Every structure is written in structure tokens, then in C-alpha cells.
Chain A
Amino acid sequence: DAGVIQSPRHEVTEMGQEVTLRCKPISGHDYLFWYRQTMMRGLELLIYFNNNVPIDDSGMPEDRFSAKMPNASFSTLKIQPSEPRDSAVYFCASSASGGRYTFGSGTRLTVV
């Protein structure tokens, strides 16, 4: 298994542009989580899905952030419009059960 796959690995964009981050979870994992990591705030859970349905999005910082999971093998996190304070590493993780998550390698987003 290739693990959780995220793309792109790095993204540099200008303020105001739309950014889309992508994640392919491990096949058979019913849960998918999006985290954001910054030096100031550490790892923060943004949203998670169960069987493609968003369950808890209380961590999504603003309406500029949206996440979708159109099928069991793909999820996106979109920021529109992006701002410099959105610069962070965004991780996707998937889980079959309990608290054993498998994380992807992350997307390092820089908004200039």
C-alpha cells in the first residue's frame, strides 16, 4: 500500500488566489482527517469525514476554507481566497478504526 498520498508537496501562491490541496486515503479506511500545522499553533484538526460525509468541521478557521470528499478515494481542501496567514503545512490522515491514523507527507503552503 502506498499510504496516504497528498499533492502537491509544495505550493506557493499569491494572496487572493484559490488553492486546492488533494488527498488520497488508504483503501478501506473509512475516516479521513485534515490537519494544519504551524509553529505558533502546532497541529490542529480542521475537519474529518466518515464514509465520505463531513462529521465535524468545527476546526475550519473561516468560510474561506472548504473540504469535500466526493468518493472514498479522494478528498480536497480548498482555500478561497488565500491569505498569508494560511501559510502552513497541511496534513491529511486516514483511519480504519480507533486512534491509529496514517498521515500523509503533507503539503507545505506558502501564501505571499
Chain B
Amino acid sequence: DAKTTQPPSMDCAEGRAANLPCNHSTISGNEYVYWYRQIHSQGPQYIIHGLKNNETNEMASLIITEDRKSSTLILPHATLRDTAVYYCIVSPNNAGNMLTFGGGTRLMVKP
């Protein structure tokens, strides 16, 4: 029972912005949107999370629609090192809540 839907793959040119979409139309009021990425052969890495306001940190920006049914992760200037699988996850922000990873989006950044 997938709670999020992401395209299986995307390409992006190096230096351009990478916009990764995620659909979470059944999100509940207490659920946050989390983004992780997994670079080949490494453990998943936390990127960013948000509830309803847009968020930005040193890695990325997260744009959540007003109805909260979808979101977009933005990598403003993609580099080759951003090639990875990106996971969008919805979950309550309670300590100990379990994160369920779906298939994610495989982002390929090309020179």
C-alpha cells in the first residue's frame, strides 16, 4: 500500500536544477514529508523534511503544495555527485516512527 508515488527515473544536466516530484495524495494531517537519497553502495542519507511550509537547507529545497498532496525536492545546481536514488516518504514526526521506503526516483546527472 504505497503512500507516495515517484517517477522511477529522471535525468538532469550538470549545473542545472533537478526537480524531483512526489505524489502523496492520501497524506494525513500529522504526517511529514521526508526526503532521503542513496548514493550507490552507501546507506540512505537524510536530505530534508517538512510539514506544510516550504523548507530549505544546505542540500536542497522542499516545496509542498498548499493541499499537501504533492511535493517537489529541488537540487538547485545538480552535480555528478548528486546521482543517486531519491526517496520521498510520508510519516508522522514522532520519535520512533518507522520509515517505509518505496522504490524512489533514480536521478542521473549527466555532464
Q: Which residues of A contact B (CB under 8 A)?
A: 4, 30-31, 33, 35, 42-43, 45, 48, 50, 55-56, 91, 93, 95-106
Contact between chains at A98 and B95 (CB < 8 Å)? yes
Of the candidates B43, B89, B91, B98, the one having the most CB atoms from chain A within 10 angstroms of its own CB is B43
* Assembly CA distance A96 to B97 (angstroms): 11
Interface secondary structure of A, over-half rule: strand
In the complex, the answer to whether B46 meets A101 with C-beta atoms within 8 Å is: yes
- Give the number of chain B interface residues (Cβ < 8 Å): 23
Q: How many residue pairs, one in A and one in B, have C-beta atoms under 8 Å apart? A: 59
B positions within 8 Å CB-CB of A: 32, 34, 36, 41-46, 49, 89, 91, 93-103
Say which residue of A50, A55, A101 sits within 8 Å of B44 (CB atoms): A101
User: A33-B98, A45-B99 provided; 15 other pairs, C-beta below 8 A?
Assistant: A31-B95, A42-B103, A43-B44, A95-B95, A98-B95, A99-B32, A99-B97, A99-B99, A100-B46, A101-B36, A103-B43, A104-B43, A105-B42, A106-B42, A106-B43
Bound-state CA distance A76–B86 (Å) is 28
